[in-house]
Copies of this chain bind each other. A is one copy, B any other.
């Protein structure tokens, strides 16, 4: 950690900072520049973070030197992790290709869509049973029944299933029905929920928050890992931007950046990132070319009847076509697409 002092900091203030640093068990390394004085603080940075050196008189700025996450960091864990979802490996050269409707709407429709996406090549099935909706008056998902329909569909077509959990009290039941637990963008900093899913043995799909920095996203993964569960797949799904032409800004550079900083797999969700079926294919391909470990796409066979986010779903025919293109890019990038399997 580096402490930068204010221009007019007095010797007394400097001494007070050094004293405090040493009191906390660190050693201080003073460096007087022509215009500014800086103090290097040497020791375990982690425990220092919670000490408000910033509030000491004469201090202008405190700059951390180390990343604040450890378990998920690639420093000290150079090899890429592979997260097993059902029998599908994600990461380390294997792509997790997730597809399915935004919300589970009926058993029949769920099975029908599952069949189509599996046929196209997808290896993990998605479907929302508990839907976080901006409006209390919108369809909130079928709840437990939705979990059952999703499970049935997964079993029927032989795909592991992923579904969102939004309530710490429901982690147990969602864990029972699904092969992977999704934490949505709006809950990326719902630390209570993160801790709860960190105590299960299931892989977790952690979406990036709408205005989360990559560091904050990794800190949320660290929360899960700190509870003992390191089977985490990160998912870039667009950040908030100023141009209303797209729903979000698809931050494709966050994929290679995150993959550099963490050993965990990182996939992309171009459906939420763009909110527009006409832009999803280009962004899906971009994600794979940028090194993503998988792609998550919403597919619905009757978008105009969808009860949630229909306007951003691809129809199965579009997904099939896209899958062919994704497979070619994947091959070029030296990646494999494992077959589905529970």
Contacts and interface: CB of A to CB of B under 8 A. Distances in A.
Contacts of A33: 40, 42, 65
Contact of A311 (B52, B69, B240): B52
Contacts of A222: 135-136
A312 to B, nearest CB: 8
As for how many copies of this chain the complex holds, the number is 4
B290 A278 contact: no
B278 A260 contact: yes
A146 to B, nearest CB: 16
A22 interface: no
A25 interface: no
A309 to B, nearest CB: 8
A52 B213 contact: no
A107 interface: no
A329 B289 contact: yes
Give the interface centre of A65, A306, A307, A313 by most chain B CB atoms within 10 Å: A65
A317 interface: no
A47 B279 CA distance: 28
A233 interface: no
Given A286-B290, A310-B55, A329-B329, A34 B40 contact: no
8 closest A-B pairs by beta carbon, nearest first, are A52-B310, A54-B311, A211-B211, A289-B289, A256-B282, A55-B303, A286-B286, A285-B289
Interface string A274-287: 10001100110111
A260 B106 CA distance: 36
A233 to B, nearest CB: 18
Contacts of A189: 132, 134, 186
A253 interface: yes
Interface residues of A, number: 104
A7 interface: yes
Given A2-B38, A35-B45, A245-B214, A306 B55 contact: yes
10 contacts: A7-B75, A52-B309, A55-B306, A68-B135, A69-B135, A166-B191, A167-B168, A256-B283, A285-B289, A328-B332
Contacts of A291: 282
A4 B65 contact: yes
A215 interface: yes
